[in-house]
Structure 1
Amino acid sequence: MKVGLIKEEKNPPDSRVPLTPSQCQYLRQINPDLEIFIQSSQERCFSDLEYQEKEISVVNDISSCDILLGVKEVPTDVLIPQKTYLFFSHTHKKQPYNRKLLQTILEKKIRLIDYECLCNTQGKRVIAFGHWAGVVGAHNAILAWGKRHQSFALKPMHKCHNFAEAKTYYNNLPLPNFKIVITGDGRVSNGAATVLDLMKIKQVSPKDFLKQEFSHPVYTKLSVNNMYSRKDNRVFDESNYYECPKKYNSIFTPYTQVSDIMINGIYWEKGVPAFFSKEDTKKDDFKIKVIADITCDIAPDASIPCTIRPSTISEPIYGYDPYLEAETKPFQPQSIDIMAVDNLPNELPRDASEDFGKQLINRVWDELKKSDSKMIYDATIAIDGKLNKPYEYLQDFVDYK
């Protein structure tokens, strides 16, 4: 089997990799018939030389490879026909901006395996960058608070060599007695909690968070049952919520009245009620002043109505004026400061890549070698110029002119 690591060519550039040099070396050691080729790139967090030092071939042309691994979406003009690709395509939710990508994949008879769709027998994703998105998102939330109040200057994560360096700045931060609410209880929110724990911010229960005052900074994590209730007043049913979110209302309002910072780390799909409305942000009792929107779904179809655009690693924070319902400069008295970087793990590319590669090797690699892997089948969006059966619902999406 010949495997190629493609050069990331989406703009803005991404420096993450699906496999590090050491991981490529390890895979070759345990798979004698495996050949790995690295498409030369100046953008990667691991240099061409680092791969070559592990005796991994670096080339310009990877068209001889059977399987091509990337991270972000591949530009349509560089897709190689009739190859197997693995990357995050962002197509399975009918994302309009990637319609042409999926159409081209079908035209070129490419087999597309989407990392986001790789799941175990319980339906849980087996590979993701979510933990590191949460880590960087929480770091940026605290950075934004420090800038807003001019109380401390936290070094941006992307200027740190790695997470180990970032952690050295967490001791003795002059944090006030603020309250932080984290939405979700998965990889992203757990990553965010990791940072807050390192900053010695204490976790409290949702009930205590709402009812008590503290003499030190605190945070709480909310599961879906803390944020939504059934419209018919019946007992909350989590499985029913995921199947029929339109039957539920948001009950998030009490948290907007006591929280200073919100870190949004929960997966969202169209039909799920927004946490709050634009009108809510105008009310005197709406207290949140910093929102780290890690999920970064853009309004109007989003859980955070004031996330009006993605931000960038170089300029991660913008202001939202609730009264004008428009973007403004950040750190203004009337603004809500929004952090909505949509490629957060790329601020810690070496850490994120190392973790991602471990998941790929431990949970996916053996499945790739099987001819009848259900995991791979269920994550295959397109094959031989057609949508795979689990994704035939995308036909109207690709047929749209």
Structure 2
Amino acid sequence: MTELHLWLRHEARSTERRTPVVPDDARRLVEAGAELTVEDSPQRVFPTREYEAVGARIVPPGAWLSAPRDAVILGLKELPDEPARLTNRHILFGHAYKQQPGAPALLRRFAAGGGVLLDLEYLVDDAGRRLAAFGFWAGYLGAALAVLQHRGRLTAPLLPTGRDELDETLRPAPGDAEFTALVVGALGRSGRGARAAFATAGVDPARWDLAETLDLDRAALLAHDVLVNCVLATTPVPPFVREEDLDDPARRLRTLSDVTCDVGSPLNVLPVYDRTTEWTDPVRRLRKEPPLDLIAIDNLPSLLPRESSVDFSADLTPQLLDFGVGGPWGRCLDRFHLASRELGLTKGESGRG
């Protein structure tokens, strides 16, 4: 493998329990010759000592701020607001290429420091297919929370758990009323996860994908009790649910779970809310009568941190073992430079290649 100093950072978000590399895969990286630095993190689902046992050097949380410039900083969710200059190569889900709020500010921080964003959402193969994703577990949890809310069994604050424990709460109980459900984007990773959760809950959802959304029957969509949106739009499409639909007297829809959470982006297919929901307050009522409840949590897989981390790490580690300037990582770099040019940043300002 190319000489690599990989620096696994502590996640700034308090509800982020996942890790992109689990200890077993960290061992593979070290044995392949990678230098691995791991920040201590009391919230990470895998104890720090397990990384130390496989040869990682342990440093305090946030030590990446003084990491050597050749270190590649690896994380999942957003970076802290400081520093203003980002000098390293960073691997994370940046959410910076679809005109999301805060995206220009993030890219300018990379430009100011000469660093690079290698966005995990754009780590793709030659055919454009994602090589590492949390989609299945995002869909599973999006549907699971929708079921629990619709059945009156969702409690707050949400807490991380394991799949066996979650499935026990999902299974139908005596007295549970039947309801209709719809998964939009049913054939993708998230859609498959949502369908699996509904199956555990004893619900057979309707399945819509590209064909159904190209010629959207909005009345049919609103006629379902529960909707789980798993569509990750890459080009603008007409919204699936509009503000006026919420006041449609024929609306049967009562629970809306948005797995994608593209809030603030022009690609948002559910432009009926302006902020995500949180673990402490996972449900927002969009309409009182007839009621309509929204679930829109943007780190759903962290509720099943061990299962989701193991799967993601298994996908990502082969890509890290082949880390370099070409292939999937080269495509990540090209996408970063394109976004920087679209902001008017010069080549010299938009990070080294």
Name the TM tier (shorter chain): 0.7 to 0.9
Between structure 1 and structure 2, the one with the greater Rg is 1
Residues of 2 paired with 1:263 and 1:292: CA distance? 5
The structural deviation recorded for 1:13 is 4.7
The structural deviation recorded for 1:296 is 1.9
1:183 and 2:184 aligned? yes
- Which shows bigger deviation, 191-200 or 73-82? 73-82
**Amino acid in structure 2 at the alignment position of 1:108:** G
Specify whether residues 392 and 366 from structure 1 end up closer, same or farther in structure 2 by C-alpha distance, changes over 3 A only. same
Aligned pairs (5 A) from 1:206-221: 219-221=205-207
**Amino acid in structure 1 at the alignment position of 2:329:** I
The structural deviation recorded for 1:224 is 1.7
Specify whether residues 374 and 23 from structure 1 end up closer, same or farther in structure 2 by C-alpha distance, changes over 3 A only. closer
Residues of 1 paired with 2:262 and 2:95: CA distance? 13
Q: Which residue of 2 aligns with 1:374?
A: 327
From 298, 316, 327, the counterpart of 1:342:
298
1:109 and 2:64 aligned? no
Specify whether residues 76 and 27 from structure 1 end up closer, same or farther in structure 2 by C-alpha distance, changes over 3 A only. same
Residues of 2 paired with 1:284 and 1:320: CA distance? 15
Residues of 2 paired with 1:351 and 1:101: CA distance? 30
Q: Which residue of 1 aligns with 2:78?
A: 73
> After superposition, what is the alpha-carbon deviation per residue over 1:266-312, rounded to whole angstroms, capped at 9, x for unaligned?
11356310113222222222110110111123379532243332100
Q: Which residue of 2 aligns with 1:6?
A: 9
Q: Which residue of 2 aligns with 1:365?
A: 320
Structure 2 unaligned blocks of 5 or more: none
**Amino acid in structure 2 at the alignment position of 1:14:** E
Residues of 2 paired with 1:397 and 1:92: CA distance? 14
Aligned pairs (5 A) from 1:118-157: 118-147=123-152, 153=153
* Other structure's SS at 2:7 match: strand
The structural deviation recorded for 1:381 is 5.4
**Amino acid in structure 1 at the alignment position of 2:343:** Q
Runs of 4+ in 1 over 4 A off after TM superposition: 78-81, 154-158
Structure 1 unaligned blocks of 5 or more: 148-152, 203-218, 230-249, 322-331
1:318 and 2:321 aligned? no
The structural deviation recorded for 1:197 is 1.4
The structural deviation recorded for 1:157 is 9.9
- Which shows bigger deviation, 121-130 or 60-69? 60-69
The structural deviation recorded for 1:365 is 2.2
Q: CA RMSD in A?
A: 2.6
The structural deviation recorded for 1:261 is 0.5
Percent identical among aligned pairs is: 23
Q: Which residue of 1 aligns with 2:246?
A: 281
Specify whether residues 155 and 392 from structure 1 end up closer, same or farther in structure 2 by C-alpha distance, changes over 3 A only. closer
- TM-score of the pair, normalised by structure 2: 0.86
From 228, 236, 258, the counterpart of 2:214:
228
Contact 2:98 2:265 (C-alpha < 8 Å) held by counterparts:
no
The structural deviation recorded for 1:167 is 1.8
Q: Which residue of 2 aligns with 1:192?
A: 194
Contact 1:76 1:104 (C-alpha < 8 Å) held by counterparts:
no
From 9, 15, 27, the counterpart of 2:17:
15
- Which shows bigger deviation, 310-319 or 294-303? 294-303
Q: Which residue of 1 aligns with 2:308?
A: 352
* Other structure's SS at 1:96 match: coil
**Amino acid in structure 1 at the alignment position of 2:166:** A
Residues of 1 paired with 2:289 and 2:116: CA distance? 51
Q: Which residue of 1 aligns with 2:343?
A: 395
The structural deviation recorded for 1:139 is 0.8
Contact 1:276 1:304 (C-alpha < 8 Å) held by counterparts:
yes
Residues of 2 paired with 1:79 and 1:48: CA distance? 29
Contact 1:136 1:344 (C-alpha < 8 Å) held by counterparts:
yes
Contact 1:227 1:252 (C-alpha < 8 Å) held by counterparts:
no
From 269, 291, 294, the counterpart of 2:259:
294
Specify whether residues 392 and 80 from structure 1 end up closer, same or farther in structure 2 by C-alpha distance, changes over 3 A only. closer
Residues of 2 paired with 1:189 and 1:228: CA distance? 17
- TM-score of the pair, normalised by structure 1: 0.76
> After superposition, what is the alpha-carbon deviation per residue over 1:306-338, rounded to whole angstroms, capped at 9, x for unaligned?
3332100121101012xxxxxxxxxx5532011
Specify whether residues 88 and 79 from structure 1 end up closer, same or farther in structure 2 by C-alpha distance, changes over 3 A only. farther
The structural deviation recorded for 1:24 is 0.6
**Amino acid in structure 2 at the alignment position of 1:306:** V
The structural deviation recorded for 1:397 is 8.1
State the number of aligned residues. Answer: 336
1:252 and 2:218 aligned? yes
Specify whether residues 52 and 128 from structure 1 end up closer, same or farther in structure 2 by C-alpha distance, changes over 3 A only. same
Contact 1:4 1:67 (C-alpha < 8 Å) held by counterparts:
yes
Residues of 2 paired with 1:186 and 1:39: CA distance? 34
* Other structure's SS at 1:19 match: coil
**Amino acid in structure 2 at the alignment position of 1:252:** R
Per chain length, whose mean CA-contact separation is higher, i.e. which structure has more relative contact order (CA < 8 Å, sep 6+)? 2
